Structure 1
C-alpha cells in the first residue's frame, strides 16, 4: 500500500492528511476485490475529484486505473467488468432447465459479485466531503481579495455637431479654439461625466480641479488618445510617461522635438555632402541657400540656447545636459519629458501634476515660464500656489459635469462660494414662497368664492422652476493620533557628517535639534540630501561622523513618498491594516480608516481600485495606527487633492507631537511650518525669515542664471 500512498501524494500534493488516510484505508480494505477501474472510481473517485478541482472526471478515472494497476499489476482488466475464463462450453438450455440448482453458477458467470463490506462508508464519505467543502469555501473566501483585480477601462461618448463634422471632413476647420460638447466619460460601471461640455479658448491657460477619483487624469488621457475628439489640425502633447533612456544626450533629446529644424539640418547635411563629393548638379547650391533661409527664419541657431534654458530651469546643470538619457533616474526622465514638451510648444499642452516631480526651485521657474505660454494649456494640479500663479481660467469638475470660472484658483474659490450662497438664498426664498402659496391653497381649497384664485395659485406653483438644495461637498477631516508629552531633549544632531563614499560628501557639520512642538520643513534641490537627512534622524542610516541623540520614548511615524507604491494592491484597506497590526477587532481597523476619510464600501475595495489620493489616505491610516509621537513626512502631498492637503495642514496644526516635513507645496509649508531647514552645498542650515526669505533667494538665483544665459 506504500506505493499507492506515494502515488497519491505525488499526484495530489495538497491533499489533507485525514482524506489521504481515508482513501488509503478504502483502497487497502478492498485491494483484493477491486475488479475494474469503475469500482475504484466509485470508491474514491468523488473524493479525489474534490481534492483537485483542476482535474476532469476523465483525469480522475485514469488515476483510478493507475491505482488499480499498482494494487494488481498482473490482473487483466476491462472497463466493462472482469473477464471470466471458462473451462468448458456453456450450454444455456441445460442451464435454464436446471436453473434452480445452478442459480449460483449463473451468478458466477454473468453477475459481478460485490461484498457490501467493500463499499465506501457513506458516513465517512459525507464527513470527508463536508470537510473538503469547508476548506473549499475558506479557500474561495481567501481568494476573494488575493486574485488580481479585474481590469477596468475608461470609455467615452461624444456628440459632434453636423457643421463641425462637415468642416472636419472637408479639411476646412482651422479654428484654434477647442469645443468638446455633450460628452460622457465612464470608468468601468462608474459614470464620471455625463452630458458635460468643455471649451478651451486658444492662448488661455486652464486649471482642471476637483476631488480625487472624479476623472481628471482620465479625461486628459482621453483627449490625448483621441477618444474625445478635437479638430485634427490641432497638435496635442500629453506629458505622462518618462523619456526612454538611451545614448542620446539630454540636450539633444530636447532639440529632437523640433522636427522641422531636424529635417532642415538633415537636408543641409545631405546637400553639403553631395557638393563636397564633387556633384555637378547646378540645383544643389540653390537648394542649400533655400535651406539656410528656412533655418534662419525659424531661428535655428537659437534653439540650443532655448533648450538649455528650459533644462536648466528644470534642474539640469550644464554637465547633466551633456549626459546620456539612460543615466538618469525615472524622476529626472519625467523632467526631461516636460522639457521636451515645453520646447516643442504644441497647440494644446496637457500637464498632469507637473509639480510632483519638481523641487521648489524648479516649481518657481515653471510657474514663471508658463505665465508666458503662447498656446492653450490644460493642467491638472493640486498645488494651490501653482494654481494661483499659472491659470487664467479654472475648470471645476464635480457632480459629473464641468463648470468654467474666469481667473486663478483664489478667484475661483471666492466666485464659487458667492455663487453657492446666492443659489442657497434663491432656493430658501422659493421654498418660503411655495410654503406661503400652499398654505393659501390648503386654506381656501373648498371655498367656492375663491375657487378661481386657488386655481391660479396652483398653476403658478406648477410654473415655478424646480430648484434643488445646494449639496455641499463633504469636508475632508484627517485625525492624527493623540500623544503624551515628553521631557526635552527630544532629538539632537551634533557635528553630523554623511558621505556615501570618500569623494561624495552629502553634508557635514550639521548641528540641529527638534522638540515636540517643532514644525520643521526641509527644502532644497533634488539630490541635496533631504531624504538622507530624514533617514539619519530616524536611525535608518548612521552618520559617518558626529552624534544623533533621541529620547528613549520617541516613536517615529514615517511617510515615504514611495509608501503608496509599496502598498499591497491585491487586498482591501481593512485587510491591509490587519496584516500590519494583527489581532484587533475589525471595527478598530474601520474606525482608523474612517479617521482618514476611507469609510463605508471604500474600505472594502481592493487597494488597486482606489485613486492615488485615496491610497495616500490608506498609507496615512496605516502609519498612524502605530500611534507615533513624532511624524517624519517625505513629500506627503503627492496624489492628494487640494481639500485633503488643507485637511492635512489642519491636522498637523492640532497634532501634539513633533513634525519634520519635506514638501514642495508652498501652501502647506506656509500653513504649518515654524522652522525651515535648507539642504544644499554640502550643508544643512536653519534659515531666518522662513519661506519668504528662501523664495527670495531662489528667485535671485534664477534671475542670475537667466542673465548669464
Structure 2
C-alpha cells in the first residue's frame, strides 16, 4: 500500500483543493492497478492535477508523475518482471504498518521537484496521515460521479481550446473581403463531421456608443437562407461584421465569407481573380507545380523521387475530390450570370469600376461555396437580369445564407426565414418576406391586445380602490386590491412599430413629397432616331433610339449593365449630344436627376441645411428644414455634416434638393440603393402622386411595378418597348421578369 500513501501525499500537496470524490477516485487506481510507469501515471494523474490546480503546467505534472514512478519502481524493468518493488502478490499478507515509509518518501519527492516552497508548499508535516491509509474498497457511486465530473471538465477544456477561435476585431477598420482570410477545409481532420448549425446565445452588440442588440439570441440551421431586415442605421451591417470578424464566437470549422466591399484592382484577369479565391485549390496547384519541378531534377535520388511521387499522387486525388478540372468553367458561369462578357472575364481587375469590382467580390464568394455567406446589399450593384440570375442561384444554395436587402421581391424569392432587427431586439420569423409581414402584423396585434387587457385589469383594480378605499365595510377588500396592484410588474406598452410593407400610408411615419409642377405643352422630351458614339471612337453605344416622355409618363428603363442606360440618361439631360438624330427638350423644361453617384453632388463637410442654402439661396433655415423634413431628415440630423449620414440619409438630401428645383420631369438611376423599406415605399408613393413625368432605372421589381406602367428595354444598342400580356394580373415589370427567366433558361 506504499503506492496509496505516496499518491495521497502527492495529490494532497500538489492539489490541496481537489474534492474528496476525485481524490478517492485517484487513490482507487493505486489500490487496484500495478501500472506505475511514468507514462501510465502521466496519462491518469496528469489531467487530474491540471484540473485541480491551475498553477500546475503539463510539464510540471509529467515531472511529478515521473518522480512518483521512480519511487514506486514502476520504470524499473527488472523489478517489474520479478514482481519486486512495492507491487505485491494478492495472495500475500499485507502489513499496513510496514508501509509507513511512503509518507516520508512522498515528502522527499515533492521537495525534489521544488514543490516544497511557496504559499501552500512550506510545511510537509501535514502530509502524514494519523490513521494511515485505509484498506476499504472504492465506493462505486463516488467513482462514477468523479469520472463524469472529470469527463465534463475535459470536454469543456477541449471545446475552448479546439473548437473556437476568437480573433480580435477593430470596428473602425473594414476588411476588403473575407474570402482572402478563409482557411481551406480538411476532411482528414474530421471537421467535416461536425455540425455546421450556428447557435449564439445571450450576446450584446454596441457600436460607437450606440446599443445595437441586448441579450439577443441568433440561431441558424445549416442549409437555410435567412434575410435580415430593419430600418436604415439600425445596425444590420454591424451585426454582419461582428459575425464575420469574430466579435461573436462561432465554431472555427465553419467557413465564413462576408461580401461587403469591392476588391482591390490589379493586373490579374477577372476570371483568375475568382479562381484564386479558392485557397485550397490554389495551394494544391502550387504543391503540384513544386513536386513536378522536384521530379524533373536529374540529381534527385530514387528514395526522394518515390516520396515526391507519392505526395503528387495524393495531390491529384485531392484535386479530383474538389473538381478542380471544372473550376474554370464554374467560375466563368458565375461571372456570366453576373453580367461579365467573355471579353470582360479576361480583362484586368483594375479596368473595372467600383460597381463591377463589387460584382467580382460577389463572384469570388459564390465560387468559394462557404458554409456561411454574409451578403450585405449585394443587389445594389446588379442590373435587372443579374438580380434575376442571382435569385435563381441562391434558390439552389446548399449552405447557410444571411442576406441584408431592401428588395422585397428578392427576399421573397430567396429567403426561407427572416430576422427582424429593431429596438435592440432580434426577432425570428419562419417563411419568406411576405410570410414575415403577415406574421409580424399578427404578433403586433397580439401584443397590443395583451397590453390593453392588462391595462383594463389594472384600471378595474384602481377603480375599485378609488371607490371603496375609505368605506369601512369594504376597506379590507380595497386594501387587498392595493396589494395585488402593487405586486403586478410594471406595464410597458409594446414598442412603436411602423409595420414595414403593410400598405401605403398605413402606420407610416415617412412621407416623401415632390412639388406639383407647372403644366407644359407637349412635346416635353423627345428622341428621334438618335445614334451616339463617344467622340474619336467608332464604337456605337446607341443607335436608332426613338423615345417620347410626357408629363404623365411613368417609365421603367431596364436592361443589362453596359447596354447604354446611363448614356441614354446623359442624352436626356443634355450632358451628351447625339452623333446623329434629334433630341428635343421643351424650352422651359426643368429636369430633376438622381444618379448612382449622387454622393458626388454633395458637400460632405457641410450640413444638409448649408448644402441646400448654398444651392438654392434666398430661403430661411426653417424653410430648408421643412423641405428636409418632407424626406425624413428631421431634428438635429439636418444639422449634422453630410459625411456623417448613412447612405440612405444622403439619398434623402438629394431628393430634397431635387424638390427645391421644382422639376417637370424626374430621372432616377437606381434610387432605391441604400434606402430602407419604409423609404422605398414613401418614394414609390411620392412618384405615383407626382404630376410630372418619371423615368426610372432600377433592379427592384416591386418598386418599379409600384411606380411604372410602361417598360422600355435597353439592350444591344437598341431601346424597345415591352408590352405585357393583357389580363395577366401581374404588373408589367413582373411580366418582363418572367420573360427573362425563360430567356435565361432558369
| Aligned equivalent of 1:701 | 743
| Aligned equivalent of 1:691 | 733
> 1:270, CA displacement in angstroms?
2.4
| Aligned equivalent of 2:597 | 562
Residue from 363, 366, 379 that aligns with 2:387: 363
Q: Distance in 2 between matches of 1:209 and 1:692?
A: 23
Q: Distance in 2 between matches of 1:368 and 1:163?
A: 46
Q: Distance in 2 between matches of 1:289 and 1:231?
A: 32
Contact 1:197 1:401 in 2 (8 A): no
Q: Distance in 2 between matches of 1:652 and 1:583?
A: 27
Please list the CA deviations of residues 598-641 of structure 1 after superposition, one character each: whole Å capped at 9, or x if unmatched.
11111111112211111111111012111111111111111100
| Aligned equivalent of 1:71 | none
Please list the CA deviations of residues 211-253 of structure 1 after superposition, one character each: whole Å capped at 9, or x if unmatched.
1111111222222222233223322211122222222221121
| Aligned equivalent of 1:472 | 497
Residue from 612, 622, 636 that aligns with 2:671: 636
> 1:417, CA displacement in angstroms?
0.8
2:284 is paired with a residue of what secondary structure? Answer: helix
Aligned: 1:575 with 2:595 = no
Please list the CA deviations of residues 493-536 of structure 1 after superposition, one character each: whole Å capped at 9, or x if unmatched.
11111111542111111111011000011111111111111111
Q: Distance in 2 between matches of 1:670 and 1:163?
A: 60
| Aligned equivalent of 1:520 | 555
* Structure 1 residue ranges without an equivalent (≥5): 1-161
Bigger drift between 352-361 and 417-426 goes to: 417-426
Q: Distance in 2 between matches of 1:416 and 1:424?
A: 12
| Aligned equivalent of 1:497 | 531
Distance 1:251 1:539, change over 3 A: same
1:366 is paired with a residue of what secondary structure? Answer: helix
| Aligned equivalent of 1:315 | 339
| Aligned equivalent of 1:237 | 257
> 1:476, CA displacement in angstroms?
1.3
Q: Distance in 1 between matches of 2:639 and 2:519?
A: 36
> 1:482, CA displacement in angstroms?
1.3
Q: Distance in 2 between matches of 1:261 and 1:329?
A: 28
> 1:693, CA displacement in angstroms?
3.8
2:687 is paired with a residue of what secondary structure? Answer: helix
Please list the CA deviations of residues 91-110 of structure 1 after superposition, one character each: whole Å capped at 9, or x if unmatched.
xxxxxxxxxxxxxxxxxxxx
Contact 1:645 1:668 in 2 (8 A): yes
TM-score (norm 2): 0.70
Contact 1:492 1:548 in 2 (8 A): yes
State how 1:87-126 maps to structure 2 within 5 Å.
none
Contact 1:629 1:658 in 2 (8 A): yes
Aligned: 1:222 with 2:242 = yes
State how 1:662-701 maps to structure 2 within 5 Å.
662-689=697-724, 690-701=732-743
Q: Distance in 1 between matches of 2:591 and 2:458?
A: 59
| Aligned equivalent of 2:438 | 414
State how 1:104-253 maps to structure 2 within 5 Å.
166=157, 168-172=159-163, 174-253=194-273
Aligned: 1:487 with 2:521 = yes
> 1:565, CA displacement in angstroms?
4.2
Bigger drift between 665-674 and 200-209 goes to: 200-209
Aligned: 1:353 with 2:377 = yes
> 1:168, CA displacement in angstroms?
3.7
| Aligned equivalent of 1:38 | none
Distance 1:468 1:688, change over 3 A: same
| Aligned equivalent of 2:169 | none
> 1:306, CA displacement in angstroms?
1.4
> 1:163, CA displacement in angstroms?
11
> 1:172, CA displacement in angstroms?
4.6
Q: Distance in 1 between matches of 2:216 and 2:344?
A: 44
Aligned: 1:594 with 2:585 = no
1:405 is paired with a residue of what secondary structure? Answer: strand
> 1:439, CA displacement in angstroms?
1.1
Q: Distance in 1 between matches of 2:690 and 2:156?
A: 58
| Aligned equivalent of 2:48 | none
Contact 2:163 2:251 in 1 (8 A): no
Aligned: 1:394 with 2:394 = no
> How many residue pairs end up in the alignment?
543
Q: Distance in 1 between matches of 2:354 and 2:491?
A: 51
2:415 is paired with a residue of what secondary structure? Answer: coil
Q: Distance in 1 between matches of 2:341 and 2:154?
A: 51
| CA-atom RMSD in angstroms | 2.0
| Aligned equivalent of 2:80 | none
